[in-house]
Amino acid sequence: MAQIATRTSKFPQSSHPDQQALLGFDTQAFETTTRLEELPANQSLGLALGWDFAQHGLTPPVEHLFKQSPLLQGWQAGRATFGRRTLRSHSHAGLWLQLRTHAWARGRSFEDVQLTPNFLQQIDVSHCPITRQELNQKTGHRQQRSIDRVRNDAGYAAGNIVAMSRAANTAKAGHDWASAQSVADSVQQGPLQSVAGLGPAEWQRIAVLCSFVTELPHEEAARIPLSVLPPNRLRLFNPIQALQALVTRQLAKPGWSQRLARIESLLPSESMRADFNRFIMALAPRVLAVKDLDHEQQIRWALEDAWQQPLLIKRWTRFAAQLNAAQAEALVARAAAKGLSTLHVMQHSTPNAMEGWALENKGFCPRSGLSTPAEQDSTGRA
């Protein structure tokens, strides 16, 4: 299983014991006083969340500031301990706390070992991958930046979340690969020109995004056009899509022809190399025909739009049909090892790839650990 990711600088984490010690924080006082291990999971998570709000010098949402709220109690205990000795406030730390609060209030699982402020910084984007509109911070605005769980039967965990607009997040709601593709096909055929404010191109991108984290038969995954490139740090469950993304991204960086020639040389047969070359000959002209390719977003969209051409899909499908899933995965690994990927590629075994996703509980915390039933928000998503 592949994950294509960029490398970014580390961001300080609130829970790091060495960092707390350096700042003079009493890391044992809160745990000893409240005996978190003796409390119901929902209450202990709320206390810890309030503690982290205080550690970052931020105030929890007002709806949680009532007397019986464990979040309020944790925040008050943290303020008494930290005083003004708080961590430097950062927008991604605030987003991390908001996301944890959203998950906690609804009983959703939140994996907080890998899913950190630094991780949110790495997946942040300037434009929505679905609507292609610039994101903003205006509360309630259609293009307000939000975080979406791509698989709705999984919790908030590394590899399952992407940044997108509020409009796209709301429209996607509980859709998976199959249902989103059904909506895309329906809107494409008419007479409706949009569903939930999104047109056929946007729904196709939602469907493809969902397909990345859905285990599909190799033949089915090989037929899916790359209408949206995989967002940073998203887990790709289908090796052929990882190869598809790796090859497509080559055209975004100078020296692509040499890198593609080296990837071609890794293929095991002459017929496969010939079909690969025919695919590249269909892809490259459609991207290079776009005059304005000096902006990262313009390049990304040109690559995605090239996949709307039937000839390109036909040639890719013919090439991909000659590989099986294991061969595609091995090819991605070999290309990455030889430095032929334009982005950092991480490969995970299946258990590790879904660690913390809480698939066994459909993305919720274990029922035995909840003091109240999980709630759903107005979009029907929990």
CA neighbor of 64 nearest in space, from 74, 79, 56, 78 = 74
Per DSSP, the three-state class of 274 is helix
Q: What is the C-alpha separation between 53 and 72, in angstroms, rounded? A: 10
Q: What is the C-alpha separation between 79 and 19, in angstroms, rounded? A: 17
Check residue 142 and give its pLDDT: 96
Contact 4, 230 (CB under 8 A): yes
Per DSSP, the three-state class of 373 is coil
In the predicted structure, residue 18 carries a pLDDT above the cut 50 = no
Check residue 279 and give its pLDDT: 97
Give the angle 257-273-218 at the CA atoms, nearest 5°. 105
**Percent of the chain whose pLDDT exceeds 70:** 84
In the predicted structure, residue 268 carries a pLDDT above the cut 60 = yes
Check residue 52 and give its pLDDT: 96
Cis peptide bond N-terminal to 191, omega within 30: yes
CA neighbor of 171 nearest in space, from 193, 148, 188 = 148
> Tens digits of per-residue pLDDT, 153-209?
999 999 999 999 999 999 999 899 999 999 999 999 989 899 999 999 999 999 999
Check residue 367 and give its pLDDT: 64
Confidence of residue 7 (pLDDT cuts 50, 70, 90): very low
**Percent of the chain whose pLDDT exceeds 90:** 73
In the predicted structure, residue 292 carries a pLDDT above the cut 80 = no
Q: What average pLDDT does range 69-80 have in this prediction?
A: 96
Check residue 291 and give its pLDDT: 62
Name residue 287's amino acid: V
**Average pLDDT value over all residues in the chain:** 86
Check residue 28 and give its pLDDT: 41
Residue ranges covered by each domain of the chain: 217-351
DSSP E strands: which ranges in 300-361? 344-347
> Tens digits of per-residue pLDDT, 298-353?
899 999 999 999 999 999 999 999 999 999 999 999 999 999 988 877 776 666 77
> Tens digits of per-residue pLDDT, 116-159?
999 999 999 999 999 999 999 999 999 999 999 999 999 999 99
| Six-digit token string for 247 | 């090859």
User: Whole-model pTM above 0.75?
Assistant: yes
CA neighbor of 74 nearest in space, from 104, 41, 48 = 48
Placement of tokens 């490259």 in the chain: 284
